[in-house]
Amino acid sequence: MSGRPCSWLFRVTLAAAALLRPERRARPLAVRPAARSRSPVPGFLGALKMEMTEMTGVSLKRGSLAVEDNDSLTPAEEAKRQKVSEGWLTKGQDGIENNSPPSCENVPRLPEVVSAGKSKRNSDAQLQEEEEEEEDGLSEEGEEEEEAESFADMMKHGLTELDVGITKFVSSHQGFSGILKERYSDFVVHEIGKDGRISHLDDLSVPVDEEDPSEDLFTVLTAEEKQRLEELQLFKNKETSVAIEVVEDTKEKRTVIHQAIKSLFPGLETKTEDREGKKYIVAYHAAGKKALANPRKHSWPKSRGSYCHFVLYKENKDTMDAINVLSKYLRVKPNIFSYMGTKDKRAITVQEIAVLKITAQRLAHLNKCLMNFKLGNFSYQKNPLKLGELQGNHFTVVLRNITGTDDQVEQAMNSLKEIGFINYYGMQRFGTTAVPTYQVGRAILQNSWAEVMDLILKPRSGAEKGYLVKCREEWAKTKDPAAALRKLPVKRCVEGQLLRGLSKYGMKNIVSAFGIIPRNNRLMYIHSYQSYVWNNMVSKRIEEYGLTPVPGDLVLKGATATYIEEEDVNNYSIHDVVMPLPGFDVIYPKHKISDAYREMLTADNLDIDNMRHKIRDYSLSGAYRKIIIRPQNVSWEVVAYDDPKIPLFNTDVDNLEGKPPPVFASVS
């Protein structure tokens, strides 16, 4: 398709809203590939625009993580009948949208063709020093280098949709194909809050607060002084204090310096000293290293909410990386931030973030120094945000180079609008390398910790960053976690965290070493296994019974699953039917699929009747998830354009800057 002199573009706007504590996830709509191409308009590329809103429902319980798959349109090499996963989000208690723990490789989702149808310095002190250095944020060097990685090479050794149970179509008509995410700006996500409001960045002003310090706070310290204070704050040198001379000695000037140090470098206290007739502000540690993680309590006005909520607009960076960057520039720990769900990397996304006791003034200042980020719509609230609190997400998606006749496009879009799509967990949930995340999850549930360690760290085929390849090779050769860790310039990934844990706790305490990885990232592995089981069971359910409800199917009444009885079958549609993610607090259908669940878990050496784990975090209570999702408010249109590098719709930042919307040529 890419070699054609002109192309068509498919633009789609989607909104997903969740019910019943639903789970965030992408579900594939599958339509069959078109047999022939749409006739090109000479001199132009084409575009089709669509809009929709979708309500989904999953009842999540503790231990069931919700993850979004914005990168859901992924090619299955061995199956030409490819599916389209539209990014529908539901929410959950742990509701994370990212599908797999952040790996050091972090291979981006490049354009996808889719068919719609140590030396011995191994001391705790060194490890702590490295940890603190990394926790301030991932280095942005090399971010752009990742774009050169070959998605095709990665998929050559990675998973196909068939590998994770995605085998069925919701419709039988011919469809069309196109390219998803040829540019990251072709995928735009706006979060839908629990109040149903779509998050937009449309106000960069800072709330007026008489208790905010003056703007001098950001300029009173020199770059050298900031560097020394940061090194003191992060325990990067042997100094116990930093003295800053007050050149223009006035009470007002000293006050601003005191405020600047305490505000910009949490954990440091200050005092004024006279030295040889000169005034100095001396900064020192107040309460050891723990003070760094906890913002100063006494400097926050009692009348103001403890959390500053703001809208974060970001481009081509996932939420966790974005939080790391913000924490690095603010010089705070990432764990004082909260959010309702993580968003895709290869996209433009808009979402709400909350941060503990950081002023809107400080946050707004970041707009002057950060690329591909904008912060705005500030407000002070009493409470943080919780994972899974959102109702869903609104999507604007571009499919470029689409093929197919007008009738084929119309038929496929009407199928999406009227029937919906199979609610499969998309490919991103299962990782992007030859070692699927569900295999790690299965090993955790089996309590096979040596296998967990091996699966995460062993060499594997496929496209990975060179330093990660060297790290894995070092591990395979020496089994020395400290030596392998030294090969990683970025240690705040799963591999780096596990190696740091092994260095700290030793090879005989893998459980504790694995526990260094943040909880949500650890849980993603076992939820990946749940998703793997669910996909396979849904495919079996549709193969066995089709797209109509049958006696023994499950439906939700409130948050409680009940069986469909023979006499009630006609009262339900396939859109009401749910299937369980395996766990100790769910029931299974009363038909052949119940046996299929048991057989699959038994083959994996797991007991479906005892999904509790001796480590509570890894006990699975289970959840319910609708098998077919039908979006609402669906609309689309075809447009033509003559420059493939020009974005095809305005972003929030474009609107803030007053840019006019793009003008399209007419399509004949």
From start to end of 537-595, where are the E strands?
554-557, 560-563, 577-581
Structure tokens at 563: 């069986």
Both structure tokens of 651:
């972003």
> Residue 556 and residue 539: Cα distance in Å, rounded?
20
With a CB cutoff of 8 Å and minimum separation 6, the contacts of 607 are: 601
For residue 223, give the amino acid letter: A
384: DSSP letter: -
> What does the alpha-carbon distance between residue 261 and residue 377 come to, in Å, rounded to a whole number?
26
* Alpha carbons 417 and 412: distance in angstroms, whole number: 9
| Chain mean position to CA 196 | 21
Contact by Cβ (8 Å): 517, 101: yes
Closest CA to 424 of 21, 62, 76, 48: 76
Q: What's the token pair of residue 53?
A: 């809103």
CB atoms closer than 10 angstroms to residue 147: 12
256's enclosing H/E stretch is helix 251-264
How far CA 440 is from CA of 264, 430, 437, 452, 458, in Å, comes to 40, 10, 5, 5, 12
Strand partners, 637: 11, 49
**Is residue 94 annotated as a catalytic residue, yes or no?**
no
Q: How many residues does the chain have?
A: 668
Q: Which of 136, 321, 344, 553 is catalytic?
A: 344
Half-sphere exposure of residue 601: CA atoms within 13 angstroms, side-chain side? 22
> Does residue 45 contact residue 7 with C-beta atoms inside 8 Å?
yes
User: What CA–CA distance (Å, rounded) separates 544 from 116?
Assistant: 24
> Residue 270 pairs with which residues in a beta bridge?
283
Q: In whole angstroms, what is the distance from residue 599 CA to residue 594 CA?
A: 9
For residue 428, give the nearest of 148, 150, 27 by alpha carbon: 27
**Catalytic annotation, residues:** 344
